Structure 1
Amino acid sequence: MKSFVNYLFKNQDLFYKVFLFLLTTFLIVYLFPKGGKFKYEIPKGKPWQYENLYAPFDFAILKTSDELSAEKERINKEHIPYYEYNPEIAEQVKTDLERQFSEVLSDTLSRSVTLALKNFVEETSAEIYRNGLLQEIIPLDQDQIIYLKKGNEATEVSYGNILKQNQLRDFLNRKIDEARLQIFRDELIELFFNSVRPNVTYNESLTQNELESKYNQISYTRGNVERGTIIVAKGEVVEGNKLQVLNSLKAEYESQVWSQANYNWVIVGYSMLVFLALLMLMLFIRKYRYDIFQNNVKVTFIFFNLLLMVLLTVLVIRFNVNYVYVVPLCILPLTLKGFFDSRLGLFTHVITVLLLGFIVPDSYEYMFLQIIAGIVTILTVSELYKRANLFITVGQITMVYILSYFAFTVIQEGSIYEVEPETFLMFLLGGLATLFVQPLIYAYEKVFGLVSDMSLLELSDTNSKLLKELSDKAPGTFHHSLNVANLAEAAANEIGANSMLARVGALYHDIGKMRNPTYFTENQTTSVNSHDELSPRESAEIIIEHVINGIEIAKKRNLPDRVIDFIRTHHGTTTVYYFWKKEKEANKNANPEDFRYPGPIPFSKETAILMMCDSVEAASKSIKEPTSKIIDEFVEKIINKQMEEGQFLNSDITFMEIQMVKKVLKRKLKNIYHLRIEYPE
């Protein structure tokens, strides 16, 4: 039992990766839809490239969206709206008219005139409220038939037969003229306007419910295809009715209710494909980015981002599949390139797109657009910490989306008039969402403890607390670090490495010298050498210790691991040659391992560049009369010696790139020493 526990403890990193791998596979399969997948790509407007296709079962032909829209439009035109008649208002108005009659009209009128006026008011009121009075909001055609609802009964009435409130004055004037009561026109109009109120209102809820009921009665199919009927023959162009029949077959196939056995097999199939895709990603990381593979936090970060993109896409598809291109999938390669490198970013992006190809419509088109956009992202984005670069990259990504979509549409439709402008808006929204990568990277740095180029930009500030302390305690080392940083940045730019990382690593690589600054020649301001009183071995120990001290200081000041790597590797496993030679002269049996730096040797292009620049810059101070030839030989000698000792074997840097770094160092040193062309006498 104890041995088993020890085995688990020793291999806990491996077990964690297996758990992470299986958990990610499970979550992705869980998110995927569990229906069947139609096995044919439908080539709209192109010949059918497969064998003759026969109907595998009976299915109905779905109507096109245009046909359904036409039916809804017809229902809208034929639909009869509902209006509500309120009899209580009519009764209240009748009462108000009787009450105000004596107030508006004079009491001195004769009985016959008063009776005639009362009859007029009563008859006119009855006519106004025969079909009701409407305050018109949505005008209809006068011949439009409507339902006028009185209580529980609804009768058909011509819209023109209902009096509108804005027609009331003309109606009253006409009635007064017909009754020849013009002398009482003002009083009668005042009477009616004081009392009459609209009592007919548009019943929107009832009308809408009736309309929805008719919409629900629409048949979404037209005709049926029986099992065994040929749907499309090989070489036949897929368009018109053939296209709609194929789309109907696909929809029916993917929406069928599966038996438990079939459902389980679908799960097994999805699990195998997702398992293989994620396995390829894991193997890629293990083979080509082994340093990342060994770091569980970084592996978790990569799988988390992949899962996040799948989750966002699935959620958008479930909400509305037309918005699938709003998902900023290019955030994935942008983020991974910002934290790691381009190759890993692109490979992870491709794996993610392949996984999403299972669930998106028009999977080939989707994968083509997303992979091309990912390639453009990797090729164009550089120095992400510069805001202008991010905007330019996002603009290029959006343009690639638009151009690719336009090309696909022209190929499929054979016309530019079928291009949907709404899709361009989706691409623009996706581009805007991609700009969220900067705050996202900041959040990732805090959560996962990683470092990006934006953090490196902050660390490159020479006014930072740690670099100011270095400047105060070891001014010579600080000046040396600045020179090395300039050389490393120029060399990294020359070979396409991360120049910001190389510069920051160079600025901090010698912070360990703050512990014993006077034991390093660049900080000695007098002729007294602290090493004169020490043995060569003791001196070598102090010199070597600056690497260990630097790592301790860096960890206490929370410098990122990517920067600490430069402190660890800037001397590799070389020897402190001066003191080793001095010890060997005194003791021929001296052990060279006592004078060797602990390593490791550089394991990236940037750390290899720092080793070259640090050695060349430090040793260049010993050149008494520099000439162009001397500098060339000097640079060649130092770097060739490092190559012979195998210091660059793990750094993934080529011979050609080393030669390019040499040229940069030679040119920079000549500029530092202000060398001019030697003219013949």
Structure 2
Amino acid sequence: MKNFLNKVLQQHSLIYKLILYVLTVVLIVFLFPKGGKFKYDYFKGKPWLYENYYAPFNFAIQKSQETIDAEILEIEKNSTLYFKFDEALVQDVRSNFDERIRQENYTSEIVEEILPIGQKIISSIYDFGFIDSQSESKLTSETLEITLRKGNLAFNIPPDKFITSTELLQFISSSLANSAPVELRSSMLNILSEVIRANIHFDEEFTEKAKEERIKNLSYTTGFVAESELVILKGDIVEGKKLEALNSIRRELESQVWSESNYNWVVFGYSVLVALALLMLLLFLRKYRNDIYENSTKTTLIFLNIALMVFLVTVVVKIDVKYVYAVPLCILPIILKAFFDARLGLFAHVLTVLLLGFIVPNSFEFIFLQIIAGIVTILTVSELYRRVNLFISIGQITMIYMIAYIAFTIIQEGNIEELNWFYFRLFAFNGVLAFLVPFLIFLYEKVFGLVSDVSLLELSNTNSTLLRMLAEKAPGTFQHSMQVANLAEAAANEIGANAMLVRTGALYHDIGKMNNPMYFTENQSTNVNPHSDLSNVDSAGIIINHVIEGIELAKKNRLPDRIIDFIRTHHGTSLVYYFYMQEKNENPEQVAIEKFRYPGPNPFSKETAILMMCDAAEAASKSLKEPTAQAIDNLIEKIISKQMEDGQFMNADITFKDIVVVKKVLKKKVKNIYHVRIDYPE
């Protein structure tokens, strides 16, 4: 039992990865839709490339969503307008007119004469009705007929039968001119215009109810296909009824929940495919990114982001599949490139998109668009700490989405007139969501303890606490670090390494010298050398300890591991050569070489290898009494050749060609530092 536990503890990292792998597979399979999948791909206007296809079951041919939307729009546009006829108001108007006439100082003969005239005019006005101005605004030039509700009756009439507010006075005046005495027309016009009120009102509630009823009764099918009936022949063009039938079969299959009889088999099939995809990712990490594979935190971050993207797409598909392109999948390669590298970012993105092909409709179109967008993301996104770069890159990604969508529309529809502008808005929204990348990077840095270029920019600020302390306690070392940072950044740019990472690492690589600054020549402002009172072994120990003390100081100040790597490796396993040779001359037979050797490890990346070369070249160049061009060239060649002979770069992924380029950059830059000035006349 004890041996078993020991083996488990020794393999805890592998066991953790296995658990992470299984959990991710289970989660992704669980998120997959619980429906069938149509196994054929087809495009509108293109030939059917498969064998003759027969209906696998009875089904109704469903109308396309575009057709349904068009019919609903037609119903809304041509829906019947309902108006109410207020009969009680007509009686009130008649009574009010009678009362107003009797209140006037007319003789009884005049009253008896004009009352019938006024009542007749009122009857003429309310024969069809007087419509209020607000209800009148519902009528348009295209409104040929409306439905008027009068009590329990409803009948259709043309809207021009109504008296409108602009026609009322003209109608009363013309009616009075034909029937009323001249001397009474003015007063009757005033009275009638005051008492007459609109009795035709738009019935919005009934109109909406009738419209909703028509939409509710709208048929969503255009026909029926029996089981085993021929749907389409091989080579036939996919269009019209054939396209609608194929779309109906696909929707029917995708809406069917897995039955108990085939549920386990379908889950097993999905599990195998998902497991294979994620296994390819683990094998890629194991073979090409072993440092990431061995780091459980980094592996967790990668799997978490893949699962997160699958989850987001699944949720959107379940809510409304037409919004699937609103999910900013390009965030995945951006984040992985920010923390790791472009190759891993693209590899993980492609695998994720392939997995999503099981979820989304039109999977070929989706996969093509997303992979192209991922490639553009990897090629364009760089230096995230510069906001303008991120803005330009996301703009380019959005543009690629739009161009690819236009191309697919032309292929499928045969023309450019069928473009759906809704998708362009989705692509723009996708780009806006992609600006969440800086926030997510910051969150992952805090949760997983990783470091990105954005954090490197903050750390490289010379006003940071640690660098300010270095400048105060060891000003010579600070200046040396600045020079090394400049050299390393220039070299990294030339060979395609991470310039921001190597610059930041160079600024912090010698912080361990703060504890004993005067034991390092760059900080000795007088001729007094404290090493004079020490043995060679003790002096070498102090020099070597600046690496160990630097690591401790970096951890105390919570510097990221990627920066600590530069402190740990910038001398590799080289010797403190000056004191070693001095000890060898004094005691040639009693030299303990290990006491003069740095503990290592050797550089294990391009960036750490660059720092080792730049640090040694800059420090050694200070010893040149006459820094001529030839002397500088010889010095740099000698230093880097010695490092190569000692095997300092054996673990670093740096090539001979890269080293030649670095040497060329160092020679040029160091010569610029020691450039010869002309003598100015006094």
TM-score computed with the length of structure 1 as normaliser: 0.92
Aligned to 1:413: 413
The alignment status of 1:113 with 2:110, answered yes or no, reads yes
Instruction: Tell me whether 289-298 or 615-624 shows the greater mean CA deviation.
Output: 289-298
Distance 1:537 1:269, change over 3 A: same
Question: CA, structure 1 residues 199+553, in 2 after alignment: closer, same or farther (shift >3 Å)?
Answer: farther
Q: 1:627 aligns to what?
A: 628
What is the match of residue 41 of structure 2? 41
Opposite residue 120 of structure 1, the aligned amino acid is: I
Aligned partner of 1:644 in structure 2 is: 645
Q: Which moved more, 1:631-640 or 1:416-425?
A: 416-425
Distance change >3 Å, CA 27–CA 194, structure 1 → 2: farther
**2:680 matched residue in structure 1:** none
Residue of structure 2 in register with 1:310 after alignment: 310
Q: Give the 5 Å matches for 1:419-498.
A: 419-498=419-498
The AA in structure 2 aligned to 1:223 is: G
What code does the residue aligned with 2:171 have?
Answer: F
Mapped to 1, the partners of 2:151 and 2:268 lie a distance apart of 61
Distance 2:114 2:239 in 1: 75
Which residue is equivalent to 1:656? 657
Cα distance in 1 for partners of 2:30, 2:184 equals: 83
- Residue 616 of structure 1: aligned partner: 617
1:440–1:77 Cα change, 3 Å: closer
- 1:118-155 CA-to-partner distances (Å, cap 9, x unmatched) read 33343443444454432212114698443323455434
The aligned amino acid for 1:395 is G
- Specify the SS of the correspondent of 1:228: coil
1:339·1:452 contact (CA, 8 Å) conserved in 2?
yes
Deviation per CA, 1:65-85: give whole Å up to 9, x if none.
565456446645764322233
After superposition, the CA RMSD in angstroms is: 2.7
Corresponding position: 1:24 with 2:21:
no
Moved more, 494-503 or 390-399: 390-399
Q: Secondary structure at the match of 1:614?
A: helix
Q: 1:188 to 1:545 in 2, by over 3 A?
A: farther
* CA drift at 1:655: 1.6
One-letter amino acid of the structure 1 residue matched with residue 46 of structure 2:
K
Distance 1:14 1:166 in 2: 87
One-letter amino acid of the counterpart of residue 116, structure 1? E
Cα deviations by residue, 1:585-621 (Å, 9 ceiling, x for unpaired): 4262433222222222222211111011111111222
1:431 counterpart letter in structure 2: G
The 1-side partners of 2:97 and 2:315 are apart by: 63
Is the contact made by 1:143 and 1:160 (CA closer than 8 Å) also made in structure 2? no
Mark the CA change 1:5 to 1:162 in structure 2 (over 3 Å): closer, same or farther: farther
Q: What do residues 523-574 of structure 1 show as CA deviations (whole Å, max 9, x unaligned)?
A: 1112221111112221122111111211122222222222111111111122
Correspondence for 1:337: 337
Q: Please name the residue that 2:328 is paired with.
A: 328
Aligned-partner Cα distance in 1 for 2:113–2:655 = 115
* Residue pairs, 1:37-76, within 5 angstroms: 37-64=37-64, 67-68=67-68, 71-72=71-72, 75=75
Q: 1:411-457 CA deviation, whole Å, 9 max, x = no partner?
A: 33332333334333332332233233233323333343322212212
Superposition map of 1:258-337 within 5 A: 258-337=258-337
Q: Which residue does 1:508 correspond to in 2?
A: 508
State the alpha-carbon separation in 2 of the partners of residues 279 and 467 from structure 1. Answer: 44
Question: For 1:60-459, what aligned pairs fall within 5 Å after superposition?
Answer: 60-64=60-64, 67-68=67-68, 71-72=71-72, 75=75, 79-103=79-103, 106-107=104-105, 109-135=106-132, 136-140=136-140, 144-459=144-459
Superposed displacement of residue 490, structure 1:
0.7
Deviation at 1:10, TM superposition (A): 5.0
**Alpha-carbon separation, structure 2, partners of 1:151 and 1:364:** 60
| Contact 1:141-1:159 within 8 A present in 2 as well | no
Q: Secondary structure at the match of 1:165?
A: coil
- Check the 8 A contact 1:34/1:266 in 2, yes or no: no
Structure 1, residues 488-547: CA drift from partner, whole Å, max 9, x if none?
001100100011111111011101100000111111112221111112221122111111
Distance in 2 separating the partners of 1:611 and 1:401: 44
CA distance in 1, matches of 2:326, 2:667: 50
- Distance 1:231-1:675 versus aligned 2 partners, 3 A rule: farther
Contact 1:326 1:429 in 2 (8 A): yes
Distance 1:76 1:514, change over 3 A: closer
Structure 2 SS opposite 1:353: helix
Q: Distance in 2 between matches of 1:358 and 1:41?
A: 13
Answer whether contact 2:34 2:258 (CA < 8 A) is retained: no
SS in 2 for 1:154: strand
Whether the 8 Å CA contact 2:114–2:180 is kept in 1: the answer is: no
2:608 aligns with 607
Instruction: Tell me the secondary structure at the aligned position of residue 234 of structure 1.
Output: coil
* Contact kept in structure 1, 2:377 and 2:397, CA below 8 Å: yes
Amino acid at match of 2:256: Q
Q: Structure 2, unaligned stretches of length 5 or more? A: 678-682
Q: Deviations over 1:357-405 (max 9, x none)?
A: 1122221121112111111111122222122222221222222222222
User: Within 2, Cα distance between the matches of 1:143 and 1:336?
Assistant: 60
C-alpha distance in structure 1 between counterparts of 2:676 and 2:48, whole Å: 73
Corresponding residue SS for 1:38: coil
Deviation per residue, 1:244-285 (Å, 9 max, x gap)? 332222222222354222334333332332222222223323
Aligned mates of 2:199, 2:302 — CA distance in 1: 68
Residue 101 of structure 2 contacts residue 111 of structure 2 at CA under 8 Å; is this kept in 1?
A: no
Q: How far apart, CA to CA, are the structure 2 residues paired with 1:56 and 1:251?
A: 13
Aligned partner of 1:679 in structure 2 is none
Which residue of structure 2 lines up, in the alignment, with residue 570 of structure 1?
570
Aligned pairs for 1:560-599 within 5 A:
560-585=560-585, 586=587, 588-599=589-600
> Partner letter of residue 162 of structure 1?
F
Counterpart position of 2:547? 547
Mark the runs of 5 or more structure 1 residues left unpaired by the alignment: 677-681
Q: 1:98 to 1:550 in 2, by over 3 A?
A: farther
Distance 1:188 1:6 in 2: 113
CA gap 1:485/1:163 in 2 versus in 1, 3 angstroms? same
1:671 partnered with 2:668: no
Instruction: Give the aligned partner of residue 518 of structure 1.
Output: 518
Q: Deviations over 1:335-370 (max 9, x none)?
A: 221122111111111111111111222211211121
Paired with 2:521 and 2:610, the residues of 1 have a C-alpha distance of 23
CA distance, structure 1, for counterparts of residue 452 and residue 623 of structure 2: 37
One-letter amino acid of the counterpart of residue 594, structure 1: K
- Residues 77 and 488 (structure 1 numbering): CA distance in 2 closer, same or farther, change over 3 Å? closer
* Residues 257 and 448 of structure 1, relative CA distance in 2, 3 Å threshold: closer
Shift of 1:182: 4.4
- Tell me, in whole angstroms, the C-alpha distance in 2 between the residues paired with 1:592 and 1:249: 80
Is the CA contact 1:142–1:159 (under 8 Å) kept in the aligned structure 2? no
Task: Provide the rounded CA distance (Å) in 2 between the counterparts of 1:68 and 1:379.
Answer: 42
Q: Distance in 1 between matches of 2:452 and 2:66?
A: 50
Which 10-residue stretch deviates more, 568-577 or 199-208?
Answer: 199-208
Q: State whether residues 531 and 539 of structure 1, in contact with CA within 8 Å, keep that contact through their aligned partners in structure 2.
A: yes
Superposed CA offset, 1:599-653 (max 9, x none): 2222221111101111111122222233333333322222222222222222211
CA contact (8 A) 2:36 2:257 kept: no
Counterparts of 1:513 and 1:42 in 2: how far apart (Å)? 69
Contact 1:142/1:158 (<8 A) preserved: no
Contact 1:506/1:610 (<8 A) preserved: yes
The alignment covers a number of residue pairs equal to 673
1:201 counterpart SS class? strand
Distance in 2, Cα, partners of 1:296 & 1:87: 82
